[in-house]
Amino acid sequence: MNSKLEKSKLERLQARLGYTFLKPELLVMALTHRSHGTRNNERLEFLGDSILSLVIAEDLFARFDQAREGELTRLRSNMVRRQTLAEIAREFELGDYLIMGSGEMKSGGFRRDSILSNALEAIIGAVFVDADIEVVRQRVITWFSNRLEKLSLNQSLKDAKSKLQELLQARQAALPRYQVLETRGQSHAQIFYVQCESELLETPVTGEGSSRRVAEQNAASLALVQLGVEHDK
């Protein structure tokens, strides 16, 4: 979150990523949010987004050789969506390394799914520029390996709200109720807190996210957990 990154911090992050940059300034750029100035990670993010989609698509094509196009598309969407990327970014503790403007930092931007996922995509782009497609492919597959190995054509890829609704209907219960408890942060970068209630839940659950929709999905995921149903994020 500091405006400058010490060499030791960069080395720790590179150790976590499993890649040492020939040009460390590319990593610094990948970690620089647009709130910090015009020289930021947006171009690298654009590049990384395309590379990520290609690498994951290629892996899925080889991994599921009997899958139809629609099935592969759903699996890829599950892998490259914002929530998945943000989870991986948190595993690397990227929030501790982001370079942001003071306002964005104070509003908690380093915890926001959108900013974390964009930074991860920017790092992918930076690795590609620093090395080549083979190196970035190896890194991406390594970072996503646990999630890729858990994928199955038989698993439900329905979103948490749909899954929760179907579960409650199957148990002849009323539909869940969602209520926005509060919003925090500036208007362009808010965090929503949404409560989900159901007659089958012992206690209401609260999810948070960068939009009301995301917060509702996260609340539904927590509700499924409380009801003893595992949801594949």
Residues 106 and 61 in one domain: yes
* CATH number of the domain to which 144 belongs: 1.10.1520.10
- Whether the model clears a pTM of 0.75, i.e. scores above it, the answer is no
Tell me the pLDDT band of 162, cut-offs 50, 70 and 90: confident
Residues 146 and 164 in one domain: no
pLDDT one-digit tens code per residue, 24-49:
999 999 999 999 989 999 999 999 99
- Pick the catalytic residue: 49, 59, 113, 208? 49
| Token reading at 174 | 């009323």
pLDDT one-digit tens code per residue, 35-88:
998 999 999 999 999 999 999 999 999 999 988 888 888 889 889 988 899 999
Write out the DSSP string of 32-88. Answer: B-GGG-SSSSHHHHHHHHHHHHHHHHHHHHHH-TT--HHHHHHHHHHHHSHHHHHHH
Ordered strands of the 177-184 beta sheet = 177-184, 191-197, 205-209
Q: Is 96 a catalytic residue?
A: no
Does 231 fall in a domain? no
* pLDDT for 203 beyond 50: yes
Helix (H) or strand (E) holding 1: none
- Pick the catalytic residue: 45, 104, 113, 121? 121
Residues 108 and 171 in one domain: no
Q: Is 166 a catalytic residue?
A: no
Its domain, for residue 12, covers 7-150
